[in-house]
Structure 1
Amino acid sequence: MTSNSTETKSKKIKLSDDFVKHNSTKPTFEIKKKTNKNGKFKKVEKTSFSKQKQDFEKTDWKLFKDQKKNLRLKRKQQKQSSETSSEAKKIYEKLKCKKSENKTDLVCKLYNLVCGDVLRKFVMAHDTARIIQCMLKFASPTLRENISSELMPISVDMATSKYASFCVLRMFKYGSPKTKQNLIESFYGNIVKLASHNISHKILDHAYLFVATENQKAFMRQEFYGDLYKNAKDMKVRTLVDCYKETEQMKTAILSSVKSNLEHIANKNLVDNSIIHSILMEYLKEIEDVEKKEDIISIYGPLIPHLLTTKDGCIASMDCFYHSPAKNRRAIVKVIKDHLTKICIHEHGHIFLIAVLNSMDDTKAIKKSLFDPIYTNIQEIVGDKWGRRVIEWFIAPAEKDFIHPHMLKILDEGLKFGKKDKLLRRKEIQEQVEGPISDSIVVNPKLYLRDGHMGLFTASILNKLSGEYFKKAAIELSKVICSEEWTVEVHEQSKNNKKDEKTVESKLVPGIEDAGMHMALKKILKKDIDRSHSFGNILIDQLNPVEASKWIKSNRGCFVLINILQNNKHLLNAIKDVVEEHIDFLNKETTTGSKILKENLNL
């Protein structure tokens, strides 16, 4: 007991001593450590309590009161803005409700509540930006114009904002033509900045592709040519060449500026932008320095899948591929390997793929790196009009029925960058892929006879297959052609008299009656003269009596039999046997086809 009590007493004594030290009435001094010339420390008196009291008495009370007043006002404004926000949100809930009928009145009420500086604050905030989007959607044209004009001065900040950027898109979607043009012009001076920002580059791409006029597109491109065009636009400068057409000494500086801008955007991986594709295409055409061209190609080579979304980007990608050495070409092929299906069925991407097939010398690498991955999704690719061009180029390249002659000229420009003979390269590719393509026809022959366009594609492919590959594909196709269930989808335009609008209707017709399919069969049968296994012979073997009677009753069906006979004279007796069973039907028919068929059969 005694030891514990003495411990508590000692603790209390210690606490009281500390208390005395801290509450001593004696003046204390702050000690600063200061060195003299000899490097020794000396004690210096700083400020006594009496000096602090004098300083306190000199306080500027007027300034202090003003600061307090400003703080109160700031808090009050924050409270008012919070009240405005909550009230605006209540109106917004009514506005976005589908059952709400008086949307225009609600938008007017909202605008009266948030117009001015509040509107600019709301559009940048995460919880109120949606309110402005809704206002832009449901406002009357006049009110929408007022809202847009108030937001126009901060359009660049809005475009780079995570939430306000959606309001810019709404202004492009619902704004009047004048508003859209003014909005694009408000971007002038900041085009490169917007293109190199991860949010605004999508808005800039939309504006350049779908909204901007030709003059505005030229003005937007000019800012990539140098700082000279940021604040001043030149109507004479339409392309990169126009910048130094009259002053050749500026060429180096301008091309250097373009290169730095392209590198800056590529480093940020924001090249999926139509304006960047146009600038890159122009730069690659104009740059003559081999090292600088290789630099930009080495940067953009791995990004080629992002360039294939536009025509200019596709041309720039082709230029990159052509001027790359064999090692870099293989690297580019490896990069696009993961995106092959999308590239094949893209309006512009498929052209780049054809350019690769037309200029790359290593045909074994083409088979392994390009065709094999494509074959895994061949049905999806064949079902698309752009994808069919790629498949056809493998087996029947340069067919004018599918590729425009002008595009063939552009593709042939890439031949000078290869060493192997054009015909030899194409033959090697064809020999490697005709087996798998014929197998795909055997697996799903109905797909290849789905409609007239597909029929012409199938005819082009079938006419290039050789030997057994042709025979096994032809047998499966003839089974479909000679079956009772063979129908094709036909799209017809019908006019609505009330609204004077054209609508497209689809219907199923017998395959033998379709004009496109008739042309396809004619195209296949025309090649029978050069074949050891004739397609006409295979057709006659598969033709059953029921389907034969339908062919004889049809004008186009009769012409199919005529085409078989004209290209296969030895099938005269076989066709006679088919027709004699239905001679009564043939005599009743008065079509042109039935008359010519009787003449050829001497009936």
Structure 2
Amino acid sequence: MKHLDEIIGAVNEKETLRLSILHKLMLDFFENCDEEKKTNLLDSLKDKIPEFIHTPDGAKLAIKLIWFAPVKERKLIVKNFKDLSVKAAMEHYGHRVLLALFDTIDDTVLLNKVVVSELANDMKKLIEDEWGEKVIHYLVHPRDGRGIDKQEIAFLAEGDSNPHSKKTQKDRYGQLYAGITENLYPYLAANFEELVFEANKSNFVGACLETTSKFDLFDRQVPSEARKSCNAAIVEIAKKDFVPMDQEGFHIIEHPAGGFVLNGIMRCDVDLPEDERLSVALVDGLTKQQLGSWIACNKGCHVLLKMLKVGGPKVVEKVKAAINRKHLDNYKSKGAIVLKSFLDGK
């Protein structure tokens, strides 16, 4: 251990921090040394963490240093991510370090100023990136198995017992989420069709527009006007003529991801005021003929059924009026069968 301590000190002085072998040595050292040596290693690395998070061992070491660091050192660690947050978010291993910062740092004002604001200002680049999307997803839904795998969640949870984090998860995550809402939702509304159809970000989009559930770690509230803008974007996409099995591109009602998103968002309608409900936006924005045409496909029938189940009296009245029962009886899809059963009160 003594020789390892000397080697790490010497190599560190030679500014070769990007070497993966050094990351392995430092991680092994940190995991096996006493508190004093941990503190010494932290002191030598606290202003250099962004330089070695590009390898699995380097990222793991950085995370463990963040958990170990007292409040003062944590502030310095955060400040050293200035102008490097987007780069870190788009790294295979580096993005995990940002998640650890979100979990650990109590000074959310500083974290929003240095890290989250940089991420918010590069929303398009991050959401289009495999790792960047995970970081934004985490700010919306921390510890969500749809965004990161269970093993990673379990590892991050190891840091929850660190002695220096005092703020509740509810407060910390809520304050960080507030730092991205102003940029996130306008981006979603402006790029909804591309995200759902081309980028295959249906899980991400659905997660951003969900209401708070018992599984959430904080009370996530989508700003009212932001939700209305996203609903309006969906309505514009849904207005397009529905041609079943269109070879030039599926309508949102028939597209696998589109139907998933519609049902997922509408599931939350029961928890929302009427003017924020997607089901209301759809019946207000689409004609009777447009809504009624959806019975021609299985997914369309399921969406109409969801509207009947979650919608208020106005939605139910308009959906029933749009469904031509004689035409519906001619369809044999599973969706058509369950829709008919529901209409018949079975």
Instruction: Please state which band the TM-score falls in when normalised by the shorter chain.
Output: 0.7 to 0.9
Q: Quote the residue 2:335 is aligned against.
A: 593
Q: Among residues 430, 434, 437, which one is paired with 2:184 in the alignment?
A: 437
Q: Among residues 207, 213, 218, which one is paired with 1:460 in the alignment?
A: 207
Measure the CA separation in 2 of the matches of 1:526 and 1:282: 48
1:576 aligns with 2:332: no
Measure the CA separation in 1 of the matches of 2:29 and 2:35: 11
Measure the CA separation in 2 of the matches of 1:272 and 1:433: 31
Q: Among residues 551, 558, 572, which one is paired with 2:301 in the alignment?
A: 558
- What aligned pairs does 1:194-273 form with structure 2 within 5 A after superposition? 255-273=1-19
- What aligned pairs does 1:167-566 form with structure 2 within 5 A after superposition? 255-290=1-36, 292-417=37-162, 418-451=165-198, 453-463=200-210, 464-484=220-240, 508-532=249-273, 533-544=276-287, 547-548=290-291, 550-566=293-309
Deviations along 1:333-370, one digit per CA (max 9) or x if unpaired, are 22222222221122211111011001100111121111
Letter in 1 for 2:158: E
Q: Quote the residue 1:80 is aligned against.
A: none
Deviation at 1:469, TM superposition (A): 4.2
Deviation at 1:372, TM superposition (A): 1.0
| Contact 1:525–1:564, Cα closer than 8 Å, also in 2 | yes
Q: 1:483 to 1:278 in 2, by over 3 A?
A: farther
| Contact 1:259–1:296, Cα closer than 8 Å, also in 2 | no
Structure 1, unmatched stretches of 5+, are 1-254, 488-506
Measure the CA separation in 1 of the matches of 2:29 and 2:279: 55
| Contact 1:344–1:381, Cα closer than 8 Å, also in 2 | yes
Deviation at 1:545, TM superposition (A): 5.4
Deviations along 1:382-402, one digit per CA (max 9) or x if unpaired, are 112321221122222221222
| Contact 1:456–1:517, Cα closer than 8 Å, also in 2 | no
Letter in 1 for 2:235: K
Letter in 1 for 2:328: L
Letter in 1 for 2:222: S
Deviation at 1:260, TM superposition (A): 1.9
- What aligned pairs does 1:75-94 form with structure 2 within 5 A after superposition? none
* Secondary structure of the structure 2 residue equivalent to 1:338: coil
Runs of 4+ in structure 1 off by over 6 angstroms are none
**Percentage of pairs with the same residue:** 21
Measure the CA separation in 1 of the matches of 2:44 and 2:176: 30
* Secondary structure of the structure 2 residue equivalent to 1:397: coil
Q: 1:564 to 1:447 in 2, by over 3 A?
A: same
* Secondary structure of the structure 1 residue equivalent to 2:253: helix
- What aligned pairs does 1:92-107 form with structure 2 within 5 A after superposition? none
| Contact 1:434–1:465, Cα closer than 8 Å, also in 2 | no
| Contact 2:193–2:237, Cα closer than 8 Å, also in 1 | no
Deviation at 1:286, TM superposition (A): 0.7
Measure the CA separation in 2 of the matches of 1:371 and 1:443: 21
Q: 1:345 to 1:421 in 2, by over 3 A?
A: same
* Secondary structure of the structure 2 residue equivalent to 1:512: coil
| Contact 1:446–1:480, Cα closer than 8 Å, also in 2 | no
Measure the CA separation in 2 of the matches of 1:306 and 1:444: 34
Measure the CA separation in 2 of the matches of 1:471 and 1:544: 22
Measure the CA separation in 2 of the matches of 1:473 and 1:267: 54
Q: 1:485 to 1:587 in 2, by over 3 A?
A: closer
Letter in 1 for 2:309: Q
Deviation at 1:534, TM superposition (A): 1.8
Q: 1:327 to 1:539 in 2, by over 3 A?
A: same
Give the aligned CA root-mean-square deviation in angstroms: 2.5
| Contact 1:448–1:455, Cα closer than 8 Å, also in 2 | yes
Measure the CA separation in 2 of the matches of 1:469 and 1:260: 58
Deviation at 1:512, TM superposition (A): 2.4
Structure 2, unmatched stretches of 5+, are 211-219
Letter in 2 for 1:329: R
* Higher relative contact order, structure no. (Cα contacts within 8 Å, ≥ 6 residues apart): 2
Q: 1:465 to 1:428 in 2, by over 3 A?
A: same
Letter in 2 for 1:515: P
- What aligned pairs does 1:46-195 form with structure 2 within 5 A after superposition? none
Q: 1:393 to 1:453 in 2, by over 3 A?
A: same
| Contact 1:480–1:486, Cα closer than 8 Å, also in 2 | no
Q: 1:352 to 1:385 in 2, by over 3 A?
A: same
* Secondary structure of the structure 2 residue equivalent to 1:329: helix
Q: 1:479 to 1:568 in 2, by over 3 A?
A: closer
* Secondary structure of the structure 2 residue equivalent to 1:302: coil
Deviation at 1:528, TM superposition (A): 1.4
Letter in 1 for 2:156: L
